[in-house]
Amino acid sequence: MWEMAQAATSLIEENVLEWTKTDNRRLLHVVFRVGNLDKTIKFYTGCLGMKVLRKRDIPEDGYTNAFLGYGPEESHFSMELTYNYGVDNYEVGTGFGYFGIAVESLSKTIDLVKLKGGRVTQDPSQVKDGSTFIASVEDPDGYTCELIERGLTLEPLCQVMLRVGDLDRSIDFYRRAFGMELLWKRDNPEYRYTNAVMGYGPEDRNAVLVLTYNYGVREYSKGNGYAQIAVGTDNVYKTAEAIKICGGEIIREPGPLPGINTKITVCLDPDGWKTVFVDNIDFLKEQE
């Protein structure tokens, strides 16, 4: 009897994990806190060409959100900037890496950032493979934006990089629990780090998650600035079940949010990075 129960449980778990691969998922937005909302909006719109997609003030909870990006939220990855009343600075920490943004001309973008008083932390240079040119700038709150020179692209806001303590563990978790694909993995022994790019489709058409392992570094400080990534799903209840099966920590059980009734579930990955899964239909209703 016990063996039959175990076999039934294993079959259920296998079906749930298989479902994550076929669930209708994509990266919706990345959330981070800023000390001066107007100043940060001015940077991303004036220097990097984003548009303000929507803005909402929640006075009863003491914060304001602004959503920025390069296209409608129902089809594009975006940034959710959060300003908490009276808080003018945050600690970025050592774990957050950068936001990757594709631009048509690095030189023109860098010149514009300098003209508008932005901080350039790395001038345009060619990466080791010789096929890509990058540069880095800092936004007003100290978050790094890595600029990648590309032609016209469907998703200019294309990457979020986070550092992890065990790359193979993280790859396994994101594949099994989140249903992501490992798009590529590259070791850079000269600079003592390895990158793995995870996502829900080709990186020339979708935003991706870049996981970075620095040789010998197992833990990072997260600060209090970077918050989370939101991912769309057709079923937050099955999503939470899959995450639990894979050893992830659910910090908000699946269900509707008070007031707006959008169904979500919230989890932590093995390094403590937070992800919010949002019901796809409810997310589209929010846009309306």
The dihedral through the CA atoms of 155, 156, 158, 162 has a sign that is negative
Amino acid found at 205: R
Quote the Cα angle for 195-200-201, to 5°: 90
Catalytic site positions: 146
Q: State the pairing for strand pair 226-233/274-279.
A: parallel
- Which residues define the annotated binding site? 80, 146
Specify whether the CB–CB gap between 49 and 104 falls below 8 A.
no
- Which residues define the annotated binding site for Zn(2+)? 80, 146
**What span, in angstroms and rounded, lies between the C-alpha atoms of 147 and 115?**
17
**What span, in angstroms and rounded, lies between the C-alpha atoms of 287 and 281?**
10
Cα–Cα nearest to 157, from 229, 57, 265:
229
DSSP 105: -
Alpha helix ranges (H) inside 78-222 = 106-115, 167-176
Block residue for tokens 């990266």: 27
Instruction: Tell me how far the alpha carbon of residue 165 is from its chain's centroid.
Output: 18
Quote the Cα angle for 225-226-230, to 5°: 145
**What span, in angstroms and rounded, lies between the C-alpha atoms of 211 and 251?**
22
Q: State the pairing for strand pair 96-103/119-126.
A: unpaired
The interaxial angle of helices 2-22 and 236-245, nearest 10 deg, is: 120
Which positions ≥6 away from 153 have C-beta within 8 Å?
102, 204
